[in-house]
């Protein structure tokens, strides 16, 4: 009854080998309580109509960036997006800073996200919101351990394991997110959108030395990187 095509990813397939190798390694290993990731299953998700929305968002960002160089890109990105088959499309992904990022959520929220994709907090009714340090946007991480803290995994740091479904453990999405030119948040602040000439908010984590050194030892007051967009068409569920 959901507006999606969803298919199980065989770990032995080319796509499966790519995801099962990349996903557990996409971490700086800061949240030690989580230990290592054990992937039980991965599904490929295609929501009806979302391809065209993401393409429109990418076109808009391309037009606004023109020849401007993107300053900051997420960590732990695959060296090559083998799941984006078209070479021209891969270039668009690179030019628009479209990244494969993580979103952890309570298990009870999974069906709603599959049904409507991500919605801004102001659009959600009766859904528990955990954390909005940089305003009412849609939050992602480039480190899976950061996102795992928002899942129903027992002992998860932010959700404390709440919202679980009997017989299940934790659910996490990997999504394409059009970041364009990120604006680095100088600290906690209730953004309602990125400033002019920017397309997302970057909560720079203090543990990521390369970023911090590049920006003269400044950070956004968070431990790990956070990436926030304020328009749902800048996101697309992938896995």
Contacts of 13 (CB under 8 A, 6+ apart): none
Q: What gap in Å lies between CA 3 and CA 183, rounded to an integer?
A: 33
- The one-digit pLDDT tens for each residue of the chain (239 residues) are 899 999 999 999 999 999 999 999 999 887 767 788 999 999 999 999 999 999 999 999 999 998 889 989 999 999 999 999 899 999 999 999 999 999 999 999 999 999 999 988 654 444 455 557 899 899 999 999 999 999 988 777 666 667 888 888 899 999 999 999 999 999 988 899 999 999 999 999 887 767 767 777 778 888 889 999 999 999 999 99
Reduced DSSP (H G I as helix, E B as strand, rest coil) percent helix, strand, coil of the chain, to 5: 30, 20, 55
d(CA 134, CA 227): 10
Nearest by Cα to 133 from 99, 101, 158: 158
Of 238, 124, 191, the residue nearest 227 (C-alpha): 191
Task: For residue 161, give Cα distances in angstroms to 30, 106, 114, 131, 150.
Answer: 19, 8, 21, 15, 8
Burial class (CB in 10 A: 0-12, 13-18, 19+), 64: middle
Burial of 5 (0-12, 13-18, 19+ CB in 10 A): exposed
Residues in the chain: 239
pTM: 0.91
Residue 112 is given by DSSP the state H
- Cα gap 217→195, rounded to integer Å: 22
In angstroms and rounded to an integer, the radius of gyration of the C-alpha atoms of the chain is: 17
């Amino acid at each position: 009854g959901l507006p999606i095509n969803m298919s199980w990813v065989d770990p032995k397939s080319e796509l499966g080998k790519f995801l099962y190798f990349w996903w557990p390694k996409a971490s700086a290993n800061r949240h030690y309580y989580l230990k290592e990731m054990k992937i039980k299953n991965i599904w490929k998700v295609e929501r009806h109509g979302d391809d065209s929305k993401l393409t429109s968002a990418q076109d808009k960002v391309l037009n606004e960036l023109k020849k401007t160089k993107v300053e900051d890109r997420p960590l732990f990105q695959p060296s090559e997006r083998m799941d984006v088959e078209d070479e021209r499309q891969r270039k668009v992904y690179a030019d628009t800073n479209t990244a494969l990022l993580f979103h952890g959520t309570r298990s009870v929220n999974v069906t709603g996200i599959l049904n409507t994709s991500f919605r801004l907090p102001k659009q959600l009714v009766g859904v528990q919101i955990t954390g909005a340090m940089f305003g009412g946007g849609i939050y992602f991480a480039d480190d899976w351990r950061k996102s795992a803290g928002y899942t129903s995994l027992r002992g998860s740091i932010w959700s404390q394991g709440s919202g679980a479904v009997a017989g299940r453990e934790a659910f996490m999405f990997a999504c394409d997110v059009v970041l364009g030119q990120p604006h680095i948040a100088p600290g906690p602040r209730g953004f309602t959108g990125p400033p002019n000439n920017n397309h997302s908010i970057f909560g720079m984590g203090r543990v990521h030395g390369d970023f911090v050194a590049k920006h003269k030892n400044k950070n956004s007051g968070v431990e790990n990187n956070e990436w926030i967009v304020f328009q749902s068409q800048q996101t697309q569920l992938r896995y």
